[in-house]
Copies of this chain bind each other. A is one copy, B any other.
Amino acid sequence: MPAQKTERSGQVQSLVRALNLLKVVAAAADGLTLTEAAKRAGLPVSSAHRLLSTLQQERFVRFDHERTRWFVGVEAFAAGAGFLRSRDLVTVARPYMRHLMEESGETVSLAVEEGGQVIYLAQIECRQLMRALASPGQRAPLHSSAVGKAILAYAPCERQDSVIGAMKLERFTERTLTTEQGFRKALGEAHHRQFAVDDEEYAIGLRCVAAPIFNEAHEAIAAISLSGPKARVTDGRMKSLAGLAQAAAGKITREFGGSAPV
């Protein structure tokens, strides 16, 4: 009797609910209680429980009896890993990333753009105590990350326009580029220099440089970045770090069977 939302026809709504529940659980760093998960997913507790039980049976989530909390399960991970295989960019890139970390001493990340956001695929952490953290699967906005700018700087104009049009240029620090004009200027510079920069635009004290990776159609499909604290990534070092990132990106591009636009 409670009036239900009008759902798209032809869709399996219990599945939609379950997937949202899965996202909710996956997004929580330290697990969720049933009631909390139900609340966040906007479901009655008993329904959430039934769905979670089923997800658990298939090992997509797991219930920790000690802490009475729900966590993501192995199968979700295994299924998601298939995503990386389907674009075996990660496999190709990993050795170069490791080498780049060794020669630069900073954390190396690999990311792609999806739906107006940056999504990190892999990361090689440096051995320093102070280091940037962006675990695989994490998302970041395009306008305040070096990788995002590196990718977008090489996108065709129409795509740039449509992506920028849909963005809201949220502010994170006082250096974040929040005007379309400023953002476009940064993209232009990135294109011209062939690498992009993030100078404390997402987090205070964090600097990154990123270089694009191209596919066989000369499209920038990904980028790798070097990131570290401002104290280590000084003005003087930026250029040389960018050079290293560019060199690695070039090698990955070639190994991946791609090439930079003419």
Contact = CB atoms under 8 A, between A and B. Distances in A.
Interface of A: 6, 8-12, 14-16, 18-20, 22-23, 25-31, 50-51, 53-55, 57-60, 64, 71-87, 91, 94, 114-115, 119, 135-139, 216-217, 254-257
Total copies of the chain:
2
Contact of A81 (B15, B20, B137): B137
A23 B18 CA distance: 16
Contact of A72 (B29, B79, B216): B79
Contacts of A79: 22-23, 26, 72, 76, 80, 137
A105 to B, nearest CB: 16
A58 B10 contact: no
Contacts of A86: 29-31, 71-72
A56 to B, nearest CB: 9
Nearest to A156: B98
Given A12-B14, A12-B50, A20-B58, A135 B81 contact: yes
A27 B22 CA distance: 20
Nearest to A10: B50
Nearest to A59: B115
